C-alpha cells in the first residue's frame, strides 16, 4: 500500500484557442483541490506533466501551477516529461514522494496545448518522441512510425484491418457518453473499416480513424498517503504502479511484441497479487489502433497475432468481459500529450468511486491503466482499487 488518489479534475479535451497552458493548469489545480476538500496550504509537493517539445513558447512551466493559489508559493514543484507517458511519469513521481515520506499530500497536474501550433510543426514536434537517427525522416511523422509497425504486423500475421476498425468503432462509441471527450460521435464499424474521402489512409494501413486526435486540455489528481486518505471523502488506492523503460531505437527490440508493456503488466499483477481476471476495466494507450491491438497481446488478453480476432470478439466492449477504454480512449477523448496519463488516472478513479456518469462500468472494483511514451519505450502500468 503506497498512495491513494483522493481528488481529481478534468477539462474537456479538444480545441481551446481561448485558453493558455497557464489557464488550463490553474483551472484543474483549483478544481482538484476543491474536489479533495483541501486548501493549497495542505499540499506538500507539486508535479506538472508537460511534454511541450515546441507546442508552447513558455518552456519553464513548473511554477505556472503556483498561479492557481498564492499559498502554493515555496512548495517544491517540478516539471516531469517522458513523451506521451509524461502524465503518468508525473503521477509516479508523486507516489515516490509519498512513499519516501517527504510528502503526505501531492498535487499532480498534466497539461498540453497543441492545436495552436501549425499542422506541419505538430508532426515535427511529435516525431521528437522517436529515435531521430532512424525515424527522423519518416513521412507522416509519428503516424508514419506506427504505420511502419502496422505494416510489420500485417506482414507477419496477415491483414488486421477488421480488428483495427473494431477498436476504432468501439472507442468512438464509448466516447459519445464521455463529457470530457473531444469527439463524441459514434462513427460505426463500416465507416472506420472503409477508406473514403472522410477517412483516407494516413500512414501504411492506418486510416484517419486509426489515429488519435490533436488536443488541448488538462487534468489533475491529488495524491495522499493511505492514513491521510482514510480521512478524505474518497480514497482510490494504487495496488501497483510500475514503470518499465525500453530502448529508444525500434531496431534494438521486437517492436511487434511491446515487451516493456508486457513486463509492466507482469510486474503490476505480481506486486498487487492480482490477475487479468480480477480487473473490471482497462484504460490503455490507443494513440493508434494498432497500439491497442498489440497491447491486448502484451497484457495477456490474446496470444501473439490474435489481437485482431480478440478485438472482433466484442469482449472489450463496455458490456463485454473486460471493457477496454470505456472513456473512449485517446482515439475519441483526445491526446493532449502531458495531460493524457493524468487523465487516465482521474477517469479510472472516477470509475472506481462510482462517479463516472455515462461512461460508468457497472460494479467496477479494480481498474488497470497502461500509458506509454514513444513506440512502447516508456511504459507505465497502474492498478487501482477503491478503499474508501
Identify the active-site residue in 4, 16, 35, 84. 84
- How far apart CA 95 and CA 135 sit, in angstroms, is 34
CA 275 to chain centre: 21
Which residues, in sequence order, are bridge partners of residue 206?
A: 203
Is 155 exposed, middle or buried (CB count within 10 Å of its CB: 0-12, 13-18, 19+)?
A: exposed
Identify the active-site residue in 16, 243, 335, 345. 335
- The total number of residues written for the chain in this structure: 388
State the maximum Cα–Cα separation within the chain, in Å, rounded to a whole number.
Answer: 58
Catalytic residue flag (residue 335): yes
Q: Which of 45, 110, 100 is nearest to 78 (CA)?
A: 45
- 10 close to 334: Cβ distance less than 8 angstroms: no
* Pairing of β 105-113 and β 216-224: antiparallel
Instruction: Name every residue whose Cβ is closer than 8 Å to that of residue 100 and which is 6 or more positions away in sequence.
Output: none
Q: Which of 245, 147, 258 is nearest to 201 (CA)?
A: 147
Catalytic residues: 84, 335
Amino acid at each position: 500500500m503506497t498512495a491513494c488518489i483522493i481528488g481529481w479534475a478534468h477539462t474537456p479535451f479538444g480545441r481551446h484557442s481561448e485558453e493558455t497552458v497557464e489557464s488550463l493548469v490553474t483551472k484543474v489545480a483549483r478544481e482538484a483541490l476543491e474536489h479533495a476538500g483541501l486548501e493549497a496550504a495542505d499540499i506538500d509537493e507539486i508535479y506538472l506533466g508537460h511534454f511541450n517539445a515546441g507546442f508552447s513558447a513558455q518552456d519553464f512551466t513548473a511554477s505556472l501551477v503556483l498561479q492557481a493559489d498564492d499559498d502554493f508559493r515555496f512548495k517544491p514543484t517540478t516539471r516531469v516529461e517522458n513523451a506521451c507517458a509524461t502524465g503518468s511519469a508525473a503521477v509516479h513521481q508523486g507516489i515516490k514522494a509519498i512513499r519516501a515520506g517527504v510528502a503526505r499530500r501531492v498535487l499532480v497536474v498534466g497539461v498540453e496545448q497543441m492545436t495552436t501550433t501549425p499542422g506541419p510543426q505538430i508532426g515535427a514536434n511529435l516525431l521528437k518522441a522517436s529515435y531521430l537517427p532512424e525515424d527522423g525522416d519518416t513521412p507522416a511523422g509519428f503516424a508514419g512510425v506506427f504505420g511502419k509497425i502496422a505494416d510489420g504486423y500485417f506482414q507477419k500475421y496477415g491483414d488486421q484491418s477488421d480488428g483495427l476498425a473494431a477498436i476504432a468503432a468501439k472507442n468512438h462509441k464509448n466516447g459519445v457518453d464521455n463529457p470530457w471527450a473531444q469527439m463524441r460521435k459514434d462513427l460505426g464499424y463500416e465507416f472506420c473499416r472503409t477508406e473514403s474521402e472522410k477517412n483516407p489512409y494516413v500512414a501504411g494501413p492506418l486510416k484517419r480513424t486509426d489515429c488519435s486526435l490533436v488536443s488541448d486540455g488538462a487534468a489533475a489528481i491529488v495524491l495522499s498517503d493511505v492514513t491521510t486518505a482514510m480521512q478524505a471523502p474518497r480514497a482510490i488506492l494504487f495496488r501497483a504502479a510500475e514503470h518499465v523503460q525500453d530502448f529508444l531505437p525500434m531496431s534494438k527490440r521486437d517492436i511487434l511484441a511491446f515487451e516493456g508493456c508486457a513486463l509492466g503488466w507482469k510486474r503490476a499483477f505480481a506486486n498487487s497479487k492480482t490477475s487479468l481476471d480480477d480487473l473490471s476495466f482497462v484504460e490503455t494507450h490507443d494513440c493508434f489502433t494498432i497500439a491497442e491491438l498489440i497491447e491486448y497481446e502484451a497484457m495477456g488478453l490474446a496470444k501473439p497475432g490474435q489481437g485482431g480476432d480478440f478485438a472482433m470478439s466484442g469482449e472489450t466492449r463496455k458490456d463485454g468481459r473486460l471493457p477496454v477504454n470505456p472513456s473512449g480512449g485517446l482515439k475519441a477523448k483526445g491526446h493532449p500529450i502531458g495531460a493524457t496519463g493524468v487523465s487516465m488516472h482521474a477517469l479510472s478513479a472516477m470509475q472506481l468511486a462510482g462517479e463516472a456518469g455515462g461512461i460508468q462500468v457497472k460494479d467496477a472494483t479494480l481498474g488497470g491503466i497502461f500509458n506509454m511514451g514513444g513506440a512502447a519505450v516508456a511504459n507505465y502500468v497502474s492498478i487501482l482499487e477503491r478503499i474508501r
